[in-house]
């Protein structure tokens, strides 16, 4: 069986920076509240006319990852695209990226697993490489949250945490042992689907009928993200740890051997809790939520790329990716660099 290793990483965030202070123009909040509860100082949001869509941003990150991998778009055999904010209901953003990058008619698969989307996407890509079906796979996480948020005070519990951005990873086949992805853990618990959700309009409540419903019920906010923040937080800290311990056990390594943890950037307090549980030093965990907010499926590839750019990753390092979010879905990937 083959192994799959990372040979290129890239990221892209829109130019527009939105500070916590700017948010106070739209809703009752404060820089102090946001920093204290989440660690976030600013985020990047797309702006009208900048040409960014979820697929376009994904393509920008992918170009950088391909360049760093020394590959052309035509060298890629398969695309896995993780997002909760696709350009359209259908088709998915993966096929749009295939077109933007002018790739051959290779397969493109969209993964709809929200905050853990990139963890699922890398696990999927790894399986295709391990079985020998594909040699080079492009994995992308890209999100535009800002266009779907309730920016009034009503939505402040959710809207202040989200940012836009994209990250990309190129995986290739290797026959080296103990290299690349060593183990994955993937889980879900749909009974909590409605604890973090954008509900309508949807096939269950079609657009036309929902618009009629809104005329009678103008206060319904089902078209905006809803999150039971405390409930999600409590589950996140438990599930992060479970998924991490599971991959370590599967690979037969101990938590003392971890060199770098790349947690999904959901809330700095969640990451700090996990860091403490694992006994990691500050340099063993990557946190950049301060600058980007929570970019859901894009947060891990953006953080991993930045860690690599900052020289925090060296040959042979044991790296963990872990995430928890809407679904609930959660999981982890263990990777030998």
Which stretches of the chain bind ligand UT7, using CB under 6 A? 29, 33-34, 37-38, 115, 156-157, 160-161, 229-230, 232-233, 236, 266-267, 270, 294, 325
d(CA 299, CA 185): 18
Best CA proximity match to 321, nearest among 311, 310, 298, 195:
298
Distances (CA, A) of 174 to 168, 232, 253: 19, 38, 21
What does the DSSP assignment read for 280-333?
--GGGB---HHHH-B-GGGHHHHHHHHHHHTT---TT-EEEEEEEETTTEEEEE
- Looking at beta carbons only, is 138 or 149 nearer to ligand UT7? 149
Is 115 catalytic? The answer is yes
- Looking at beta carbons only, is 126 or 150 nearer to ligand UT7? 150
Is 264 catalytic? The answer is yes
Secondary structure letter of residue 162 according to DSSP: B
CB of 69 to ligand UT7, least distance (A): 28
- Looking at beta carbons only, is 69 or 232 nearer to ligand UT7? 232
Token pair for residue 122? 């890398």
d(CA 301, CA 103): 22
CB of 196 to ligand UT7, least distance (A): 6
Q: How far apart are the first and last CA of the chain?
A: 18
Active-site pick, 184, 264, 267, 288: 264
CB of 156 to ligand UT7, least distance (A): 4
CB of 141 to ligand UT7, least distance (A): 13
Is 294 catalytic? The answer is yes
Counting DSSP H helices and E strands in the chain, the numbers are 11, 13
- Looking at beta carbons only, is 66 or 232 nearer to ligand UT7? 232
Cis link prior to 262 (omega < 30° from 0)?
no
- Looking at beta carbons only, is 38 or 142 nearer to ligand UT7? 38
Query: What is the 3-state composition of the chain as percent helix, strand, coil, each rounded to the nearest 5?
Result: 40, 25, 35
List b or e across 242-261, with b for residues whose CB sees 16 or more CB atoms inside 10 angstroms: ebbebbbeebebeeeebbbb
- Looking at beta carbons only, is 233 or 337 nearer to ligand UT7? 233
CB of 160 to ligand UT7, least distance (A): 4
CB of 266 to ligand UT7, least distance (A): 4
**Catalytic residues, which ones?**
115, 264, 294
């Amino acid at each position: 069986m083959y192994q799959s290793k990372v040979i290129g990483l890239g990221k892209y965030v829109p130019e527009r920076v939105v500070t916590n202070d700017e948010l106070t123009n739209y809703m009752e909040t404060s820089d102090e509240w946001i920093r204290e509860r989440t660690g976030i100082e600013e985020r990047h949001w797309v702006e009208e006319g900048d040409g960014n869509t979820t697929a376009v941003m994904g393509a920008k990150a992918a170009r950088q990852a391909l360049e760093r991998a020394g590959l052309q778009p035509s060298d890629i055999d398969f695309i896995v695209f993780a997002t909760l904010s696709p350009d359209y209901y259908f088709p998915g953003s993966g096929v749009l990226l295939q077109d933007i990058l002018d790739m051959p008619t290779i397969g493109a698969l969209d993964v709809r697993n929200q905050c853990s989307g990139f963890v699922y996407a890398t696990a999927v890509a790894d399986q295709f490489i391990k079985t020998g079906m594909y040699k080079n796979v492009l994995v992308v996480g890209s999100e535009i949250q800002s266009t779907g948020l309730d920016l009034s005070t009503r939505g402040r519990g959710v809207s202040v945490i989200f940012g836009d951005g994209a990250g990309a990873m190129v995986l290739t086949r290797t026959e080296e042992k103990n290299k690349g992805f060593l183990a994955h853990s993937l889980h879900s618990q749909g009974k909590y689907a409605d604890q973090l959700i954008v509900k309508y309009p949807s096939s269950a409540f079609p657009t036309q009928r929902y618009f009629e419903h809104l005329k009678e019920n103008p206060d319904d906010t089902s078209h905006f993200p809803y999150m039971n923040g405390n409930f999600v937080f409590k589950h996140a800290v438990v599930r992060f740890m479970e998924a991490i311990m599971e991959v370590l056990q599967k690979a037969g390594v101990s938590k003392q051997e971890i060199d770098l943890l790349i947690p999904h950037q959901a809330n700095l307090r969640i990451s700090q809790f996990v860091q403490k549980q694992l006994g990691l030093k500050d340099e063993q965990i990557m946190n950049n939520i301060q600058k980007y907010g929570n970019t859901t499926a894009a947060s891990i590839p953006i953080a991993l790329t930045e860690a690599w750019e900052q020289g925090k990753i060296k040959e042979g390092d044991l790296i963990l990716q872990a995430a928890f979010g809407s679904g609930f879905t959660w999981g982890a990937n263990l990777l030998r660099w």
